[in-house]
Amino acid sequence: MSVAPLEPSALYRQCDPAQLALETTADLDVRDGLIAQDRAIQAVRFGVGIRHTGYNLFALGPSGTGKYALIRSALQERATHEAVPPDWCYVFNFEDAHRPRALRLPPGKGAELKRDMDQLVEDLHRAIQGVFESDEYRTRTQALEEELEERQEQAMGQIRELAKEKDVILLQTPTGFTLAPVRDGKPLGPNEFHALSDEDRARIEEDINSLQAEMRKALHQMPLWKKRSDERIEALNREMAAAATQSLIEALCETYGDLAAVVAYLRQVQEDVVENFRQFLPESDKQPPLLGIWIPPNPDGPPWHQRYRINVLLGHDKNGGAPVVYADLPAHHQLVGRIEHRAHLGALETDFTMIRAGALHQANGGYLIIDALKLLIQPLAWETLKRLLQAAEIRIESLAQITSLISTLSLEPEPIPLDVKVVMLGERHVYYLLCELDPEFSELFKVAVDFEDQLVRGPESHLVYARFVASEVRRAGLRHFDRAAVARVIEHSARLADDNERLTSHMRSIGDLVRESDYWAGADGCETVGAAHVQQAIDAKIARADRISRRLREETTRGTILIETDGARVGQVNGLAVMSLGGFAFGHPSRITARVRLGKGELIDIEREVKLGGPIHSKGVLILQGFIAGRYALDHPLSLSASLVFEQSYGGIEGDSASSAELYALLSALADLPIRQSLAVTGSVNQLGEVQAIGGVNEKIEGFFDTCAARGPLEGQGVLIPVSNVKHLMLRADVREAVAQGRFAVYPIASIDEGIEILTGTAAGERTSDGRFPDGSVNARVEARLIGFSERLRALHAQDGKTPPSERAEP
């Protein structure tokens, strides 16, 4: 059952630069430089192609895989062939100023209507002021005023004639008209009047009373005559204002004759202008002075003519295609828009011209891309998006209105119909959590666009990577990469994927490597980036992040952390773990020890007992107990008491990648066979004794290699890994060189028996036909030890006259 160490060629899969059809990246025809995601692209095409409710998209996959770039590229390609959505404008509602109306216009017409209405306001000023300053208006107004004066004068003249016939005169005083008796054409004073005879006084008083009755009738008619005259003047004003506005409005109605909503709005504008024509006159003509003092209007407030402006909420180019919008801050008001306010005299004022569009308005008729996590952390943004998608309309509301925090009067703009495809980007766990916790999510986002983490490595994917490097070079204006540099980038991509048969799809990491390699090429004064510059960029990035790993190696070398890399010990093995800090992962060995004695079949995991072990680690330890009980001393009760622990471990431990190392330590303690401390172990194990694959195999091997190298020249050290992890090996050049020189070894292990033979130098042994293990083998020694424990326990209980607990019948 001897297992040979791996050859250096098995530790690293190189990319042959000669197989790349380029001298430098300048030779490549780059289109978009995106990494192929065929399954995701098909899902995107389906999602944007189906036009039924609820078929929005959720692109799920790790951050940095190019989800946004690929999604946006696919959407823009589709959007260029789609119709341009309409323009949307808000206009003044003449029936209810607090509810602005929404106008739907063909693309590009919004800006035209705004310009035409601005020009209309200027033209109305000139036309209305001109018509009210015209000779015709003055003549007709003067005629109406003279007619009123003539009628009043005629009425008072009749009273004068009647008074003259009766020796009474009509006098006009500062307080009005009065009647007085006359004699010889002169008014009589009070004394003269009283000097008259009683008969004359009675006759004159009777005449004056009758004249006063006639005069009262005339005076009572005068306000009515004045009112009718004012009405006729007002009618004249309206007639003149209508005449001034009609031609201007009719011209616009003819221009927008095919848009019924615009024509209806223009008719309302015409009626409102005629109704409020004085607002177009000079300030002195708009209203009479108050107590002789002219009070100017509020200079900080909006002008009256603001109500005739057009608020182009969203305008489009006629040839732009459907919009593709990315909402980088998907807060509530950023999605649905907002209503701005101005401060005046300690109060907030607003009007329809202060309505602003949101991302949903901008993407209406096209596509909206949103980062799921950013959306979910914004207050009420997710609920708002769901509500609007379900209602298929955009309703502008502030958070204060929704939450009823304030009850002040504000605008309620007319909702706008919503027709948009929403594409959310997020990690997989966000997608699955939403599916699990929000029933409405699956109704609204029925298309999952699942991005691959890795690509199958081969000539096609190598070419894809070369094109991606070329695209990054051209996009950022970098130096071109030669074929060896591209090959090194591809090799590093396989290392990032932890698989020599795959390449990572984490394009952000590759893009960073390309830019950093260009920096080092520039530092060397080279015009082209070579493989050495790529390697220098990789090494420099590690050097910037490996402080903790260096400190751990230093403490191991100084003896603070107890790790042995030579000699042999019973019940002690070097396990391997991976630590990840800030995106940098490194391996580090840990001493694992096992102690055994006579007991009641207990296998104590000290990490679990003190709550430092996670559930997966605890599961691995329980699997060891199942393996021991199912392989050895099948006819005897398990009378073992064992303890397992990670020495000098002061933090949490999770994962089962050390379960094989723990089992080796336990077997060593039971068989009383020392384990070579020059070897380290990784791999999980099942109850059948098969060694299973683990993660971070490259970091673990290199971590033990660095620890051994830090102590001096390597002398036959090595690592045992699961055979199923061989395809994941992409080891550093110095590790491969040490393996080639025979100073370090990597053993592929398929079973616990293979591993224990290498660690102890003793054959594991297989059961023969008589059910026994070969004498002297590891398994025979373990079984003999367990049988011995069982017999000793039986003998102890026999002395006490008791039945061993493991043999008692169940009640």
Specify the CATH number for the domain of residue 529.
Answer: 1.10.8.60
pLDDT of amino acid 136:
83
By CB atoms closer than 10 A (0-12, 13-18, 19+), residue 770 is: exposed
- pLDDT range class, residue 316, cuts 50, 70, 90: confident
| Highest mean pLDDT of the ranges 117-131, 644-658, 700-714 | 700-714
Give the C-alpha separation, 753 to 631, whole Å. 12
Residues 632, 749 share a domain: yes
What pLDDT digit, counting tens, does each position of 317-327 carry? 777 789 999 99
Regarding whether 366 and 272 lie in a shared domain, the answer is no
Percentage helix, strand, coil, to 5, in the chain? 50, 20, 30
Q: What is the pLDDT of residue 809?
A: 44
Note whether residue 94 is domain-resident. Answer: no
Predicted local distance difference test score (pLDDT) of residue 667: 94
pLDDT class of 183 with cuts at 50, 70, 90: low
**What is 603-647 written as a DSSP string?**
EEEHHHHTT-B-HHHHHHHHHHHHHHHHHS-TTS---EEEEEEET
Whether 167 maps to a domain, the answer reads: no
Domain count, the chain: 4
Does 2 map to a domain? Answer: no
Range with the poorest average pLDDT among 242-256, 288-302, 759-773, 797-811: 288-302
Backbone angles phi, psi at 684, to 5 degrees: -95, 165
What percent of the chain clears pLDDT 70, i.e. is strictly above it? 87
pLDDT at residue 317, rounded to an integer:
79
What is the structure's pLDDT at 295? 40
pLDDT of residue 172: 62
Q: What backbone torsions phi and psi does residue 367 show, to the nearest 5 degrees?
A: -135, 140
Q: Is the pLDDT of residue 736 over 90?
A: yes
Q: Rounded to two decimals, what is the model's pTM?
A: 0.80
Residue 173 inside a domain? The answer is no
Strands 674-676 and 568-570: antiparallel
457 and 90 Cβ atoms separated by less than 8 Å: no
Handedness of CA 771, 775, 777, 779 (dihedral sign): positive
Is residue 565 within 8 A of residue 676, CB to CB? The reply is no
| 585 three-state secondary structure | strand
Residue 292's pLDDT is what?
37
Output the pLDDT for position 290: 38
Q: Which is it for strands 717-722 and 679-681: parallel, antiparallel or unpaired?
A: parallel
Burial class (CB in 10 A: 0-12, 13-18, 19+), 191: exposed
Residue 137 has pLDDT above 90, yes or no: no
- Asked whether residue 100 is domain-assigned, the answer is no
416 in the same domain as 275? no
Query: How much is the pLDDT for 288?
Result: 46
Residues with catalytic annotation? 657, 700
- pLDDT confidence band for 149 (50 / 70 / 90): confident
Pick the range with the lowest mean pLDDT from 81-95, 343-357, 364-378, 687-701: 343-357
Averaged pLDDT for residues 510-527: 95
415 and 430 both lie in a single domain = yes
The CATH number that applies at residue 575 is 3.30.230.10
pLDDT confidence of residue 29: 80
Q: How far apart are CA 148 and CA 21, in angstroms?
A: 102
Measure the CA angle with vertex 355, ends 352 and 360; round to 5°.
140
- Burial class for 788, CB neighbours closer than 10 Å (0-12, 13-18, 19+): middle
Phi–psi pair at 497, nearest 5 degrees: -80, -5
Q: Which of 127-141, 335-349, 420-434 has the highest mean pLDDT?
A: 420-434
Determine the average pLDDT of the residues in 547-559.
Answer: 92
Same domain? For 228 and 375 the reply is no
Give the CATH number, domain containing residue 397.
3.40.50.300
Tell me, yes or no, whether 328 lies in a domain: yes
Of 451, 481, 504, the residue at which a domain comes to its end is: 451
pLDDT higher for 736 or 637? Answer: 736
Q: Residue 301: what are its φ and ψ, rounded to 5°?
A: -80, 170
Whether residue 90 lies inside any domain: the answer is no
Q: Is the pLDDT of residue 268 over 60?
A: yes
Query: 519-533, 600-614, 764-778, 797-811: which has the highest mean pLDDT?
Result: 519-533
Helices 260-275 and 109-132: crossing angle, nearest 10°?
30
> For residues 753 and 734, what is the distance between their CA atoms, to the nearest angstrom?
30
C-alpha 758/C-alpha 301 separation (Å) is 90
- Render pLDDT for 483-512 as a digit per residue (tens, 0 to 9): 999 999 999 999 999 999 999 988 899 999
pLDDT in tens, 232-255: 877 888 888 888 888 899 999 999
Looking at the structure, tell me whether residues 487 and 397 fall in a common domain: no
Q: Using the predicted structure, report yes or no on whether residue 289 has a pLDDT greater than 80.
A: no
Tens of pLDDT, residues 764-789: 999 988 889 999 999 999 999 999 98
482, 517, 545 — which closes off a domain?
545
Least Cα distance to 706 among 673, 731, 741 occurs for 731
Does residue 12 or residue 344 have the better pLDDT? 12
Is the pLDDT at 331 greater than 50, yes or no? yes
**Tokens 């590093």 sit on residue:** 492
How high is the pLDDT of residue 195?
A: 65
Q: Has residue 291 got a pLDDT over 70?
A: no
Q: Are residues 509 and 413 in the same domain?
A: no
Whether 179 maps to a domain, the answer reads no
Do the beta carbons of residue 99 and residue 299 sit within 8 Å?
no
Is residue 534 domain-shared with residue 591, that is, in the same domain? no
Q: How far apart are CA 85 and CA 396, in angstroms?
A: 20
Averaged pLDDT for residues 670-683: 95
pLDDT higher than threshold 80 for residue 336: yes
Residues 423 and 283 in one domain: no
pLDDT at 653: 83
Domain that holds residue 255: 109-162+205-314
Quick one: 655 and 748 in the same domain?
yes
Q: Say if residue 256 is in the same domain as residue 267.
A: yes
Let me know: does 521 contact 534? Beta carbons within 8 Å: no
Indicate if 538 and 580 belong to the same structural domain.
no
Residues 6 or more apart whose Cβ sits within 8 Å of residue 177: 156, 170, 171, 215, 219
Rounded Cα distance, 639 and 802, in Å: 15
Last residue of a domain, one of 492, 521, 545: 545
Across the range 390-405, mean pLDDT stands at 81
Indicate if the alpha-carbon torsion angle 711, 713, 715, 717 is positive or negative. Answer: positive
Instruction: Please compute the mean of the pLDDT values over residues 197-225 and round it to a whole number.
Output: 69
Q: Position of tokens 């001493």?
A: 591
First-to-last alpha carbon distance for the chain, in angstroms, is 46
Strands 355-356 and 338-339, bridge-based pairing: antiparallel
